[in-house]
Structure 1
């Protein structure tokens, strides 16, 4: 940005407090017209608070926000905010029961008269064509996949006239090809003059799609730099305040042990076919592949969420009844599901209640849970996983994403499982939380558990002793430790298998 150019977005010396907590402390950001600017930082750094201020949901206690050099609309002027800025959140705001067209023009379907449905669908098709969103305007939004819902939200945001879009963890639930399509769309929007703020915990994405990056740490602005001038290790150090080398895994490959988890000739419809898998005590086996590879379906079958059409699963020498999660857990298996919000925890229950669910039977007599024993168990887990909470009684819904995921991990490890299945454990969490979660997996493995780790993140898979790559429902290659990104991605995309 030239010295005379007016920034598209500028937050100056913004401070925001919630009671005794300072969420933003004299922080700011400057985003040039037409650039894609990353905002990164650990959970609790102040990113979400800044987003709420930049979208008019919160009023800052100090400082100011400018768009194109002009003061932001008043908090009460919702139409003014919609014309200025839009946010595509990680959790979709699309209403599943409405059609695509209805979602696009929600609360503005018509003027004073009745709704002209034919005209509404026609306007929706024009808007979708304008921004290259290939979905039927009359289709129910609930039938769309994650990628289509995100593109629908972007099109809806732009339809208000906003030229500044905030993308909050847009890739967290997308596979590799869908991420590439999203990035292609983002580059096209940038060429049309759209300014974007990109929030992601996947730092490699920052380097691929952004021109500048701003780092927040502990509610304050730390640095703003062009991404081309900022080495990866320096970026991590700015986010954490520590040297990135502190997070390298020191675990060595195991010598071999008893088989604790195995699958033989597993087949489930078109999701995967004839899969064999063996996991030994002290071993971490990765599962990699695209979203359509079958890796998640396979992992969910191992824990009993699906019953395979054919084949067997064995846990510690026992064959749990297919499709029976409770039987798999009784056999000694721990599980971290793909979606913590839907499957990982009960939001209204406390940290201690969620974390101790698998061991409730051991925390009292005659079917009654001892509050003292439950709290003591939860406090140990909080310490071991460094869960940032006001105490064991805090509801999980009030925790940050990274700390909520730590509660899910604590629950999976509560009964000291001898086999562990973990799906995308670091999705949507910050650098430090990632290290804590992966460290917990390594610690369980060092205690003798055998682990299956499914992840879309290559960095997660580096702790694995070997990685099984799936492509179109089959295991196409086993890759030993020491692979390069290019090697693994080539196999995942179907060009490097055996």
Structure 2
């Protein structure tokens, strides 16, 4: 009688995970099977469900449906944080160590060795040195953590997680702040830890890294599991197809209308050398009646760049002109006065005043036009608001309805209405269709087309390919730099390859 080897029990297994936030399904079918000792990549475009799955895998949130198992055993109860720490840890792109404490203090924070009721500093230092030595982390236990390089801070976090007993480490965009040599060193350390029995889940927008350091890859798309495959057997084109949702052949057959930009149209926005912690030396121009897209991963700097142009942030270097005049930074009011309209990324916190009516919200940026010396005629204000409601097809009982009563799509239309109310020369739209239904999305994107026809310069920053299809060209940011430009007519796989860092170093 022949005996068959039973398959190894996965170190981590998630099946049929569903997670909803109100009406939004963030994860419809999350699946993951990670074997002990491997580096397993989790990839997908922004909004694919990666962060939600990580929240479930680390016990930050319970799934609404589905199961998570570690070593074949059910996941601990959500409240049992110590049990979760023994199973899994997540190291994020921004280290969570306390900068002012030493490495030793960070390693044993809230569990320092005691002697007669007092912290034993001698034992703390000795145990920290032993822990770092065990995992071959070459960092001085007495060094102030703030003085360490990012890569060393990450290794301190990994060592701290291992000291709890966890052997499954999630690395969430660990290379976002590292240069090429630092990335290579991180990968060497990962391989060394793998040899010592540590298992990694590696999340990155740089697909080249997946091929360098991972053995298996799982793809999520539109909140669902798509495929899991050995990295060595999955060509890059197939990986991008899995993320994009259509084959490259199919995309090539689709006729995409190319737009011809009027090269004689005057440049309305002219930004030179814009620099901050999030982006570096960015030049950007947008012509009258041109729609330019900004694409990139969450760590690309695209949102910070757009927010600077809308007056929400101040760059550390560079200048921008709008219609020949200097564009002020760091003041939304000054940017508005200079001719900038903005749909911010968070309509709840930045875009709407919840306690006010639709009429108040749509007209608050143009009150000076509706009356003189602080007196505003109610009829004039109501008429102006009604015009905007009609223009954007906002489903409402009228201008007096509280904005808090509206659906997500209609609330976003109110934010767009206010941005358009001032007849801006530059319209900055940040994730303008996030979290809205298909019909509202189409209505909002139609405003982009009409703004173009009105001669407005439009900047669209989005993770949604449908938003970017309206653009005359799309600039791709990667680690804070513009690395590619795609004219209208691009194919999904081409843009995703640029965003994910495949066709540049």
Into which bin does the TM-score normalised by the smaller protein fall?
Answer: 0.5 to 0.7
**Distance in structure 2 (CA, Å) of the matches to 1:157 and 1:327:** 47
Which residue is 2:169 aligned to? 165
Matched, 1:79 2:82: yes
What secondary structure does 1:79 align onto? Answer: helix
Q: 1:35 to 1:59 in 2, by over 3 A?
A: same
Q: 1:250 to 1:19 in 2, by over 3 A?
A: closer
Which residue is 1:213 aligned to? 218
Deviation at 1:8, TM superposition (A): 1.2
Deviation at 1:468, TM superposition (A): 11
Count of residue pairs the alignment pairs up: 460
Deviation at 1:408, TM superposition (A): 9.1
Which one of 404, 408, 429 corresponds to residue 393 of structure 1? 404
Report the RMSD for the aligned CA atoms in angstroms. Answer: 6.4
* Deviation per residue, 1:269-321 (Å, 9 max, x gap): 9x988x986542244678999x9x99999877766644888x86431233345
> Quick check: 221-230 or 483-492, which moved more?
483-492
**Distance in structure 2 (CA, Å) of the matches to 1:197 and 1:146:** 19
Which residue is 1:387 aligned to? none
Q: 1:97 to 1:319 in 2, by over 3 A?
A: same
> Quick check: 243-252 or 30-39, which moved more?
243-252
* Deviation per residue, 1:328-354 (Å, 9 max, x gap): 3322234688xx68x994499659999
Which residue is 1:314 aligned to? 321
**Distance in structure 2 (CA, Å) of the matches to 1:85 and 1:14:** 18
Deviation at 1:72, TM superposition (A): 3.2
Deviation at 1:98, TM superposition (A): 4.5
Matched, 1:255 2:262: yes
* Within-5 A mapping of 1:220-239: 221-227=225-231, 228-229=233-234, 230-237=238-245
**Structure 1 stretches lacking a partner, 5+ long:** 385-390, 494-498
* Deviation per residue, 1:93-141 (Å, 9 max, x gap): 4445645443332211223632234553554466556464768854255
Deviation at 1:89, TM superposition (A): 4.4
Matched, 1:329 2:336: yes
**Distance in structure 2 (CA, Å) of the matches to 1:32 and 1:367:** 67
Which one of 358, 361, 364 corresponds to residue 365 of structure 2? 361
What secondary structure does 2:69 align onto? Answer: strand
What secondary structure does 1:82 align onto? Answer: helix
Q: 1:18 to 1:332 in 2, by over 3 A?
A: closer
What secondary structure does 2:68 align onto? Answer: strand
- Using the size of structure 2 for normalisation, the TM-score is 0.61
Whether the 8 Å contact between 1:87 and 1:166 is mirrored in structure 2 is: yes
- Using the size of structure 1 for normalisation, the TM-score is 0.62
**Distance in structure 1 (CA, Å) of the matches to 2:426 and 2:18:** 47
Which residue is 1:68 aligned to? 71
**Distance in structure 2 (CA, Å) of the matches to 1:184 and 1:457:** 35
**Distance in structure 1 (CA, Å) of the matches to 2:361 and 2:150:** 30
Deviation at 1:6, TM superposition (A): 1.9
